[in-house]
Every structure is written in structure tokens, then in C-alpha cells.
């Protein structure tokens, strides 16, 4: 009876220790990835010290069976990041004709799919233009802009601006000093009629 109890206590302690270490490594990796500092990740001392977590077959097996390999999100998913795209239409006289934030799609399903796909813009802050994620986001953003141009034949070009919604800090909520809605500019691109022909 005592041996079973000892085994259970040992298992619980080891499991929570492993859970803590896995999430520490995951948080460090997420931080460097989000702020576009992947190249500096290997220089982090704590991250390197915890490399055994990924290299040990026994630990990897436990992570797979318990769901630990899903990272911190398995226990407490992060608040989703909200992105907004602004389209500014310019005519042949270089005058601003209209501005819109809605994507011109026919069905609700298409709109939902595009909105879901927009979460990948988290990696668009990376300044490395040779990075695969950067290229993928650039193609997606260009496709949205060209779709708008095609549906507005009298427009010469469109300015496409990608914003990230800035959520209030905890200190702002506690002090009730909530300012007006803020959006951080992530990317600004200009597309014209030539881009349509090259796209097709």
C-alpha cells in the first residue's frame, strides 16, 4: 500500500516538474518567434539547458501520450490576436476615392475562412524577406488586395494596410484609463493594375 502511494506521489511530482519545464521552453521559443528573433533563440541559456526535453525518446513519448507536446496552449490558450485590413482606393488622378475595412467576398463561409487564415499574420512582423512565413504572408496579403482591385475596375491602385489590434494592458483596466481603440501598423503595401497581370 505504501509503495503504491509512494509511486503515485513520485509520478505526480515528476509529471508537474516535466510540465513546468516543457512550458518554460515553449514560452521562450514563442517569445523569440513572435518578436522575429528566431536567430537568437539558440543563444538563450535556459532554452539550451532544456534541450534534453526534445532529444529524449522517453520524455517525448510521455509528452505525446499526455498532450504536453501541444505546449502552454494545452492548459491555457492565448488570447487570439485580432487583425484588421484597410483598403484605400486611388483613382487615375491619384485621388483617394474610398476606404473600406471589409473584404469583398460573396459567402459567409469564405469570410470566415479568410478571417481564420489571417491569424498567420502574427509572423508578418518578421523583417527577413527570405523567410518562408514572410513570403507566405506577403502572397496572402497581395491576393486580398488584388481581389479588391478586380472588383473596382475604375480604380488605379489600392493601398493595403495591415493593423494589429492593441488590447489594453492590465494596468489600464485596473486604473480604468482605457484610451481609444488602437491599432498597430504591421505592413503597408501598394498594389496597382500591373500586379493583377503578374498575379494571373
The series of mean pLDDT values per 10 residues for the chain, 200 residues long, is 79 86 83 76 86 82 74 53 83 86 76 76 71 82 85 85 75 60 81 77
Helix ranges (DSSP H) in the chain: 2-34, 45-49, 52-55, 57-66, 108-117, 132-150, 170-175, 193-199
How crowded is residue 160: how many other Cβ atoms within 10 Å of its Cβ?
A: 21
The three-state secondary structure class of 139 is: helix
Whole-number Å distance between alpha carbons of 25 and 71: 9
Q: Quote the cell numbers at residue 178.
A: 482605457
What b/e string do you get for 45-67 counting C-beta neighbours within 10 Å, with b at 16 or more?
A: eebeebeebeeeeebeebbeeee
- In this prediction, residue 54 carries a pLDDT of 80
Residue 162 C-beta-side C-alpha neighbours within 13 Å: 24
CA distances from 108 to 20, 114, 162, 176, 199 (A): 41, 10, 21, 36, 25
Amino acid at each position: 500500500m505504501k509503495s503504491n502511494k509512494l509511486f503515485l506521489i513520485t509520478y505526480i511530482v515528476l509529471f508537474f516538474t516535466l510540465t513546468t519545464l516543457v512550458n518554460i521552453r515553449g514560452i521562450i521559443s514563442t517569445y523569440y518567434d513572435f518578436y522575429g528573433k528566431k536567430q537568437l533563440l539558440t543563444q538563450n541559456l535556459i532554452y539550451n539547458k532544456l534541450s534534453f526535453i526534445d532529444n529524449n525518446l522517453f520524455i517525448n513519448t510521455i509528452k505525446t501520450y499526455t498532450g504536453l507536446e501541444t505546449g502552454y496552449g494545452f492548459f491555457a490558450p492565448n488570447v487570439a490576436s485580432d487583425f484588421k485590413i484597410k483598403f484605400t482606393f486611388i483613382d487615375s488622378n491619384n485621388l483617394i476615392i474610398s476606404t473600406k475595412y471589409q473584404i469583398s467576398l460573396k459567402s459567409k463561409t469564405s469570410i470566415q475562412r479568410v478571417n481564420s487564415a489571417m491569424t498567420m499574420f502574427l509572423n508578418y512582423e518578421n523583417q527577413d524577406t527570405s523567410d518562408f512565413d514572410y513570403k507566405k504572408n506577403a502572397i496572402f496579403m497581395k491576393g486580398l488586395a488584388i481581389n479588391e482591385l478586380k472588383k473596382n475596375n475604375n480604380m488605379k491602385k489600392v493601398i493595403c494596410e495591415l493593423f494589429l489590434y492593441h488590447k489594453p494592458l492590465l494596468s489600464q483596466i485596473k486604473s480604468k484609463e482605457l484610451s481609444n481603440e488602437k491599432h498597430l501598423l504591421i505592413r503597408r503595401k501598394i498594389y496597382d493594375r500591373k500586379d493583377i497581370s503578374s498575379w494571373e
